[in-house]
Amino acid sequence: MRTCSSSSIIECAGERRFGVAPKPVAPYARHRRESVKPKSGQAAAGVEHTMSIRKLGLGLFAVLALAGCQGRPSSTKSVDDAAITRADKDGVNWLSYGRTHDEQRFSPLDKVNDTNVGRLGLAWYADLDTNRGQEATPIEVDGKLYVTTAWSMVKAFDAKTGALLWSYDPQVPREVLIKTCCDAVNRGVAVWHDKVYVATLDGRLVALDAATGKVAWWKTTVDPSSKYVITGAPRIIKGKVIIGSAGAEYIARGFISAYDADTGKQIWRFYTVPGDPSKGFENKAMEAAAKTWKGEWWKLGGGATVWDAISYDSDLDLIFFGTGNAGPWNKSVRSPGGGDNLYASSIVAIRPDTGEYVWHFQETPGDRWDFDATQQIVVATLPIDGRPTKVLLHAPKNGFFYVLDAKTGRFLSGKPFTPIVTWATGLDPVTGRPNVNPAANYDETGKPFISVPGAVGAHSWQPMSFSPKTGLVYIPANEAGFPYAAAPKGWQPKPEGFNTAMDGGLTAMPADPKARAAALAASTGSLIAWDPVKQKAAWRVMHVGPSNGGTLATAGNLVFQGTAAGDFNAYAADSGKQLWTIPVQTGVIAAPMTYSIDGEQYVAVLAGWGGVWDIATGVLADKSGSTRNISRLLVYKIGGVAKLPAPPPLKAMPLDPPPVTAPPAVAAAGGELFGRYCAVCHGDAAVAGGLNPDLRHSGMINTADNFKKVVLGGVFKGQGMVSFANDISPADAESIRAYIIKRANEDKALEMAAAK
Ligand code: CA
């Protein structure tokens, strides 16, 4: 059940503290999975496909798996394209989600540097009024800091003192959470002239007066009867607000749109996959794409939603954006008979004035692994074959680092950036097309396949950064697999379902403790400094688990990153040596940013554990470290002396479920249903990560009547848990309850055995 309660759920068993700072590790010197070592220079293919999911014991590793040079602008009125372009050399402000249109997240500020970062301390902090995952990068203009929080709320602060200037709550109905895979998150605002723009979870684009926070105009960007949501930050390009949406797991057709920044009038919309051919195509790009689909794909939407990356190059006058996975994941259901399914899992270049298609590069043709290509796209100039070349740098979910010619989309090079890639053996050196491991096509073979990377991706939305000084890209990477298994024949989409056409029972973590230990050991995270010219790691720092924070690179030879384990760190950009660390009491997934006021440099980051890794990965969710959310904006400077209040204690609650009474077959059927409807919010195998209710502990499982009141009656709709009566029958609800009771009793037995 996708209850995503906004009430605090801090009753998590056992706080983990990781006081030992991760040591820099030579590139790929040590990884812990001896049995699945890659061949040199190549991804390891076919290593795991011969083993069953159960035998390897790998469960649901992860579900789904953004002034001029002369000084400060006098007000937000001076934020325009020229200002953002010049911002390249001006570190005083941070004017756009990725700081500049090229989204390098590199600041030329160097007052804080590798010689004095050890004296960095808290300048001020602000507690936020939500306790869900915080993913936003703040924007700073003229001494004002604008930030979004979970539930698409916006706050403006005095960037020097932390005084709250105004706040805005779009009052997103909490039941919208039913349409989301990955928490009520938002990644930030855009600022242009005298307005601040936010895209809300329920699909509205809202322009606010930058001085007061009052609504100037708003538009609905999605059909309210659809399942689209928005989590991404808008970008302003040539006076247009550019925004996409999410929803590829919920029967959606992807698109990206432009709205006039002054009036909110829609200027253009570019769809990413073709619609029903009988209704005609919107443009030639859709007509061409339709040749790569089979069956009646439009009935299931097609996916390829534009939920994060949008970059721009003013010389080429091209917008670059990434598209998500094709939907549903299961290709045999989506496009029976084959095809590449354009423009899913692709980078697409379009014209900002018209939305006209220019070129595309598809990273994962015929995707069936939720391999979104939506991760941040960096525009940079690199020496390629001895010539300065404008390139796009991309580290998508699929595990390969791509360098593309920005003008043409031509593939220049690509190598795996994490040690293990099992779904493909490498990329064609000329075309960049992956050589897919045949066993990875689980929907065709009929056999489950464990892919590394999995649906959480080798890199997801957590922004990477690029330092022109070191020439390195700093990637927050994940190493975690996922067991893919096709849904039984005859699968049909459901209105409230997580419509991936996967087998929810087969993809769940088994109860066996050894299997869990193996899955935990195999899931980790790292900070990788990647040389995009040599296509190899320069250095690498291991983290405790996956889903760590985005990165910031600065001219002070520094890289900043927060971790899921609850620390905020600075590393030497050239060597990876850790130079500073500070505990922040909660997991950090957002990316830091930096700005300067009165000659003093500040570094800001949003803290607040959550997102998909917390809510959906079950027993793996607390592997990374933090199992609680304390949502705060943290701002540091040299010599800062502010202190955080002591964190509230975590309570350990023993399991106390009712006894198992249902026959095993009923609980097994309930397990499949749980995987399909519930696990995406309440955790794989009914183990919740800390943000959403852990149903093993819920009193609602004690009686069939109470359980049905929640699942079918929707009594907790105000907290996001809507009624599933359209999808789930009373008998099915009882099967799900039986499964949760079985799982709770299995884990209670483990607790009692461990206590002996
Ligand atoms: Ca996806």
Centre of ligand 1 from the C-alpha of residue 482, in Å: 13
Centre of ligand 1 from the C-alpha of residue 382, in Å: 30
Domain 653-755 has CATH 1.10.760.10: yes
Give pLDDT, residue 656: 80
Average pLDDT, the chain: 87
Question: What global pTM score does this model have?
Answer: 0.84
Would you give the DSSP letter of residue 198? E
Given pLDDT bands bounded at 50, 70 and 90, which one contains residue 1? Answer: very low
Give pLDDT, residue 55: 34
And the tokens for 541?
A: 């720092």
Given pLDDT bands bounded at 50, 70 and 90, which one contains residue 65? Answer: very low
Given pLDDT bands bounded at 50, 70 and 90, which one contains residue 31? Answer: very low
In total, the chain counts a number of residues equal to 756
Q: Which range has the worst mean pLDDT, 77-81, 175-179, 401-405?
A: 77-81
The angle that helices 730-755 and 704-711 make with each other, rounded to 10 degrees, is 110
And the tokens for 666?
A: 């009923």
Structure confidence by residue, pLDDT tens digits, 723-753 = 999 899 999 999 999 999 999 999 888 888 8
Centre of ligand 1 from the C-alpha of residue 542, in Å: 25
Decide if pLDDT at 30 tops 80.
Answer: no
Given pLDDT bands bounded at 50, 70 and 90, which one contains residue 13? Answer: very low
The Cα 525–Cα 547 span in angstroms is 7
Centre of ligand 1 from the C-alpha of residue 618, in Å: 18
Average pLDDT over residues 300-317: 97
Decide if pLDDT at 131 tops 90.
Answer: no
Give pLDDT, residue 627: 67
User: Which among 392, 251, 384 is positioned nearest to 321, based on CA atoms?
Assistant: 392
Give pLDDT, residue 25: 29
Centre of ligand 1 from the C-alpha of residue 69, in Å: 40
Would you give the DSSP letter of residue 677? I
Given pLDDT bands bounded at 50, 70 and 90, which one contains residue 54? Answer: very low
- Residue 656 catalytic? no
Centre of ligand 1 from the C-alpha of residue 35, in Å: 29
Query: What 3-state DSSP class applies to 413?
Result: strand
Structure confidence by residue, pLDDT tens digits, 34-53 = 233 333 333 332 222 323 33
Decide if pLDDT at 530 tops 90.
Answer: yes
Structure confidence by residue, pLDDT tens digits, 202-245 = 999 999 999 999 999 999 999 888 889 999 999 999 999 999 99
Centre of ligand 1 from the C-alpha of residue 540, in Å: 26
Percent of the chain with pLDDT over 90: 67
Structure confidence by residue, pLDDT tens digits, 187-202 = 999 999 999 999 999 9
Dihedral, 101, 102, 103, 107 alpha carbons, nearest 10? -90
Decide if pLDDT at 246 tops 60.
Answer: yes
The answer to whether 363 and 400 have CB atoms below 8 angstroms apart is yes
Given pLDDT bands bounded at 50, 70 and 90, which one contains residue 624? Answer: confident
- What is the topology classification, in CATH, of domain 8-481+523-637? Methanol Dehydrogenase; Chain A (2.140.10)
Decide if pLDDT at 491 tops 80.
Answer: yes
Average pLDDT over residues 89-95: 89
Which part of the chain is CATH 2.140.10.10?
8-481+523-637
Decide if pLDDT at 547 tops 90.
Answer: yes
Give pLDDT, residue 176: 87
Decide if pLDDT at 625 tops 60.
Answer: yes
Among 90, 142, 340, 370, which one carries the catalytic annotation?
Answer: 370
Q: How far is CA 174 from the centre of its chain?
A: 20
Give pLDDT, residue 76: 65
Identify the residue with better confidence: 629 or 325: 325
The CB density around residue 283, as the number of other CB atoms within 10 Å, is 14
Structure confidence by residue, pLDDT tens digits, 563-616 = 999 999 999 999 999 999 999 999 999 999 999 999 999 999 999 988 887 777
Centre of ligand 1 from the C-alpha of residue 373, in Å: 9
Which part of the chain is CATH 1.10.760.10?
653-755
Given pLDDT bands bounded at 50, 70 and 90, which one contains residue 390? Answer: very high
Dihedral, 109, 115, 121, 125 alpha carbons, nearest 10? 20
Identify the residue with better confidence: 113 or 495: 113
